[in-house]
Structure 1
Amino acid sequence: MIARIWSGSSLLYLLLLPISWLYGFITVLIRYSYRRGWQEVHRFPLPIVVIGNLTVGGNGKTPVVLWLVTQLQERGWRVGVVSRGYGGRSVHYPLLLDVNTTSDQCGDEPLLIWQRTRVPVAVAPRRATAVALLLRSHSLDVIVADDGLQHYALGRDIEWVVVDGERRFGNGWWLPAGPMRERTSRLKQVHAVIVNGGKTHHGEVSMWFKSGTAVNLLSGEFRALSKLIPVVAMAGIGHPARFFAMIRASGVIPMREIVFNDHQVYRQQVLSALVTPDQHLLMTEKDAVKCRSFAYANWWYLPVDAQVPATAAQDLLIPIEQAIRRYMPSCG
């Protein structure tokens, strides 16, 4: 029902418009209060790159974070990542991730980023405290904020917005009548608009996902998808249909496609009942970080990597490297 309302195919959004107007008024007031200096903006002696979105759920933001971190690492920069840690329930914040950190503590996306890149990652509802912890613990050149476009207490040098190219902005209304956290006019103030799939508009950067080889949760074995037949696919992400479509595009037709809620908390007995011993359970990498501790030998995940055109990649990275150099003492 929510999907139909937000897509514009149902007029029921009209009933929610009064709440949306209130939501919009509050968000505009909050942003204005930071711009006027009524609330403190925390700034740090290195560039902060915020990667966020205007809508809720499933835009492909975390793969873009992974792409950027990897690109900066390959260029020799020391990178850290901060996140709110949505879904995590740590007994204390800020929390610096290590080998003992669980997704229950930090949330699934920060743990995925840490396991994939091994860069310093800190989580806290107040992201400025996470940045401060990283700077006390590591020597860094740049920090990437996973989400937090609307978290104006954190000063930032560069903002990227990730857009779902298929769903775009739905009916264009603020929550809850629509999917918007902020209106599309906000796009005029960010440094890059990265569109995940679908058609790009003028000035936008196209991005798509490339799937890798399936990885076993227990052994770490790599195996081609075609060798996993028969397979049962599951996804607990913001836009599971994209994951299932990727599997089918590889030539593998799952026996079943099972959808869980985004940030779902999994239990072994629930997932083990989805497959028989001769079937393979295939999940997203985001799901896998929550299931490794109780996985069976026939459980696999499919990593994906964000891809952008080479010329666009250069255009995205040059301003960040320029910002890094501006902050370096040797550059004045």
Structure 2
Amino acid sequence: MTMGRGATLLQRQWQTGGWLSTLLRPLSCLTGLAIRLRRRAHAQGWRKTWRAPVPVVVVGNVYVGGTGKTPVTIAVVRALRERGWRPGVISRGYGVKIGPAPRSGRGTLSADDFGDEPALIAQETQVPVAVHPQRPLAGKALLARWPDVDVIVCDDGLQHLPLGRDVEIAVDDERGVGNGLLLPAGPLREPPARLDTVDAIVTNRSMHATSDSAAGAALGVPYRSDMRLTPSRYVNLVSGESLSAADFMARYGATPLAAAAGIGQPERFFSMLRHAGLNLVQTLPLPDHYAYHGSPFDSLQAEGVLITAKDAVKCAGLGDERLWTVHADTAFSRPALFDWLDVRLRAAAAQRRQRHTQPPPPPGKVD
């Protein structure tokens, strides 16, 4: 199962422009108008913005889908825990009908109930997770159930203005801003200038790409870092056997393998595996957030099938002994990104404490 021709054509024109992109420009103008009206409504106070009692980090993007937000979110959560924070995660729960009440949990969560990305984050980090399309509701539910959470990390939500935030991290990749146009004529959720207003930009690069965003970059706004994903561990989805990257290569390095991925950029996953030296004889790109109601792997003849961790949370019930989950490490060109984030968040927490302890104004005096 692959992307249709129309979608492939649109993806190409999102990068270079063309007749279809030109035809869709009037709709992009409407997108831009909606963005401006929404931002004005929040700026003027016509629509409410929830300010959480703890600092909030939003990890998002302006390029629609597939830039690598979830690996960055997981890395942020792990880094904050290492620095003494007690993080919790909120997310929309993409593709899941949540209903009026948020859902929350931790540990092993059902992708059918929470969405594949929140389920993956919960599994990989073991921190509390809450989901709801209205992120403030998810945040309130998270803090109500786990009152010891002292920082909220929002997976996606850069455009979700009802959620106040202290730090914005935008994740992009080698596609940049494409043709620079808003949806649907281009790939952008917001104008390219939005990137000038975030606090940090992380560029997800393939292993063979050269770095041009972080080398020698000065501290400032935005803070820039490249990231790259490399396989670290392979886990058989049926037996649970876990092999390091080196042990997997020693056993299967010469074996013809297949790989499948239901993510925004499947080829990035395949390229990572080839760069690691694996012999991929078949690849199966699937739509992002593929549901796996049935097995798509029957057409693959290889002895082993490599899948992403995001896909694995939905494939456990398939019972295919050939499936190996690829767990990847996220390497940052500027690891000090997380020290910088820690400083920003501690300052935000101190400001909250100061506001909370300030005495009320004298009677009859208007602030």
Structure 1, gaps ≥5 residues long: none
1:244 corresponds in structure 2 to 270
Residues 192 and 316, structure 1, Cα contact 8 Å, conserved in 2: no
2:341 maps to 1:316: yes
Q: Does the CA contact (< 8 Å) of 1:325 and 1:331 recur in 2?
A: no
- Cα offset for 1:98? 4.4
- Residues 92 and 221 of structure 1: CA distance in aligned 2, closer, same or farther (over 3 Å): farther
Query: Which amino acid in 1 is paired with 2:121?
Result: I
**For the aligned residues, what is the CA RMSD?**
2.0
Separation of aligned partners in 2, 1:306 and 1:126: 29
Residues of 2 paired with 1:301 and 1:150: CA distance? 32
Q: Indicate if the aligned counterparts of 1:274 and 1:281 stay in contact, CA closer than 8 A.
A: no
The letter of the residue matching 1:52 is G
Q: CA deviation at 1:89?
A: 2.5
Is the CA contact (8 Å cut-off) linking 1:51 and 1:65 kept in structure 2? yes
Q: CA deviation at 1:99?
A: 5.7
Give the stretch that moved more between structures: 95-104 or 293-302.
95-104
**Cα distance, 1:304 vs. partner?**
1.6
Work out the CA distance in 1 between the residues paired with 2:355 and 2:157.
30
For the residue of structure 1 that corresponds to 2:181, the secondary structure is coil
Give, in angstroms, the shift of residue 267 of structure 1.
3.2
Kindly provide the amino acid, as one letter, of the partner of residue 107 in structure 1: G
AA aligned to 1:210 is: T
Q: 1:16 pairs with 18, 21, 24, which one?
A: 24
2-side partners of 1:53 and 1:221: how far apart?
35
Q: CA deviation at 1:27?
A: 1.0
What's the counterpart of residue 127 of structure 1?
A: 135
> How many angstroms apart in 2 are the aligned matches of 1:100 and 1:304?
19
Q: Which has the larger radius of gyration?
A: 2
Secondary structure of the 2:122 match is helix
| Map of 2:190 onto structure 1 | 182
Q: Is the 8 A contact 1:90 1:104 kept in 2?
A: no
Counterpart Cα distance in 2 of 1:231 and 1:68: 32
Q: Relative to 1, partners in 2 of residues 1:296 and 1:190: Cα closer, same or farther, differing over 3 Å?
A: same
1:212 aligns with 2:224: no
Note the 1:77-96 alignment, pairs <5 A: 77-91=85-99, 93-96=101-104
TM-score using structure 2 length: 0.85
The residue number in structure 1 matching 2:166 is 157
What amino acid maps onto 2:93 in structure 1? G
Q: Could you say what secondary structure the match of 2:336 adopts?
A: helix
Note closer, same or farther for the CA distance 1:302–1:328 as it changes in structure 2 (3 Å cut): farther
Give 5+ residue unaligned stretches, structure 2: 1-8, 218-222, 358-367
Distance 1:159 1:280 in 2: 39
Residues 1:193 and 1:269: Cα distance change in structure 2 (over 3 Å): closer
Distance 2:182 2:355 in 1: 45
Residue 66 of structure 2 corresponds to residue 58 of structure 1: yes
Are the aligned partners of 2:83 and 2:342 in contact in 1 as well (CA < 8 Å)? no
Aligned mates of 1:31, 1:104 — CA distance in 2: 33
Deviation at 1:296, TM superposition (A): 2.0
How far apart, in 1, do the equivalents of 2:341 and 2:331 lie? 13
2:361 aligns to what?
A: none
Identity over the aligned pairs, expressed in percent?
A: 40
Given that residues 257 and 303 in structure 2 are in contact (C-alpha distance below 8 angstroms), is that contact kept between their aligned partners in structure 1? yes
Does the 8 Å contact 2:109/2:123 carry over to 1? no
For 2:59 and 2:109, locate their aligned partners in 1 and report how far apart those are by CA, in whole Å. Answer: 23
Q: Which whole-Å deviations, capped at 9, do the CAs of 1:48-106 have from their partners, x for residues lacking one?
A: 11110001011011000000100111122111000001012345530013467421121
Q: Structure 2 vs 1, CA of residues 269 and 315 (structure 1 numbering), >3 Å: closer, same or farther?
A: closer
* Alpha-carbon offset, residue 143 of structure 1: 0.3
- CA gap of 1:99–1:307, structure 2 versus 1, over 3 A, is closer
